[in-house]
Amino acid sequence: MSTVHQQDLKDRPARLTVGVVGAGRVGPALAASLQLAGHRPVAVSGVSDASRRRAEALLPGVPLVPPAEVLQRADLVLLTVPDDVLPALVTGLAETGAVRPGQLIVHTSGRYGTKVLDPALRAGALPLALHPAMTFTGTAVDVQRLAGCSFGVTAPEELRLAAQALVIEMGGEPEWISEENRPLYHAALALGANHLVTLVAQAMELLRTAGVEAPDRMLGPLLGAALDNALRSGDAALTGPVARGDAGTVAAHITELRRHAPGAVAGYVAMARATADRALAHGLLKPELAEDLLGALADGTAAPGTEGGHHEGTDGTDGTTGTEGNDR
């Protein structure tokens, strides 16, 4: 941060007191970012020892108090709890009278829009849904990563400017998501980010089994190039045996996975089918090669030792699947 910016923040009074309910990886980082913008964190709630350590590291000197007391102290409350916990938390806070009229209540769930905050709205609060599209580590590096991070934002029309201002103050870029599209938006992010971690971890384990001493060093340039190509070119970036229609290679992969990592077979087959669907649709996979390839993948779903052949896919179709993901 520049000296000029530091001086500006020093001379400017804090505009909002900020509280965090749920000191997981996200809440303290967002509050720390708002603090850099001139707001004042005043209270945090956290249950586990890890949450308490995280809050102390990112928000030193900010007291740890029960959730209801967080709402008593703060003008802006960040509800940064797991998705499945959020509805009951909002209802409970509203029913106990903790919510104050005019208070900004912000949740960071990707799955929900503002409707989940209706109990707080009925108590007079101002509801916002601000979801940072980023993975968090629970450390100070997260505050830096917020610069340029997209936020999935859902807000009532009269609060759009307030939502936009908060996101920009945290260094982010607002992306407006309608209430009905929040689950789909979140599924897309989970498919791209959460499942990526699983795929990379599995690839590293297999490389170690194959005798590679530094799988991270081997995968780093490959995955970096693949991600860059995919973001730039979409399906045109598809490469590898599935896109080429190398059925024999795919069959060999499945055989080796069954031998060394049977738990990875289902994921390999599912992703290969999805890749084949997209390669066919975009003219990368020749139709005359697709039949043998899909046959190899169908054989891959059969139990070892059973006769191969054409099997229905996991979505009930003729052996190919769509590309829908699951919400995280």
Question: Phi, psi at residue 46, to the nearest 5°?
Answer: -160, 145
Q: What angle (nearest 5°) sits at the alpha carbon of residue 104, between those of residues 100 and 106?
A: 120
What does the alpha-carbon distance between residue 326 and residue 196 come to, in Å, rounded to a whole number?
A: 13
**How many Cα atoms within 13 Å fall on the side-chain side of residue 219?**
17
pLDDT above 90 covers a percentage of the chain that reads: 84
Q: What number is the average pLDDT over the span 104-114?
A: 98
> What tens digit of pLDDT does each residue of 149-197 get?
999 999 999 999 999 999 999 999 999 999 999 999 999 999 999 999 9
Q: Do residues 219 and 203 lie in contact, with contact meaning Cβ atoms separated by under 8 Å?
A: yes
223, with CB counted inside 10 A (0-12, 13-18, 19+), is middle
- Where does the pLDDT of residue 47 fall: very low under 50, low under 70, confident under 90, or very high at 90 and above? confident
Give the predicted TM-score (pTM) of the model. Answer: 0.81
Q: Do residues 28 and 20 lie in contact, with contact meaning Cβ atoms separated by under 8 Å?
A: yes
Q: Please give the DSSP secondary-structure letter assigned to residue 191.
A: I
Lowest average pLDDT, out of 12-26, 76-90, 177-191, 305-319, goes to: 305-319
Structure tokens at 300: 């891959």
pLDDT above 70 covers a percentage of the chain that reads: 87
> What tens digit of pLDDT does each residue of 276-325 get?
999 999 999 999 999 999 999 998 766 555 444 333 333 333 333 333 33
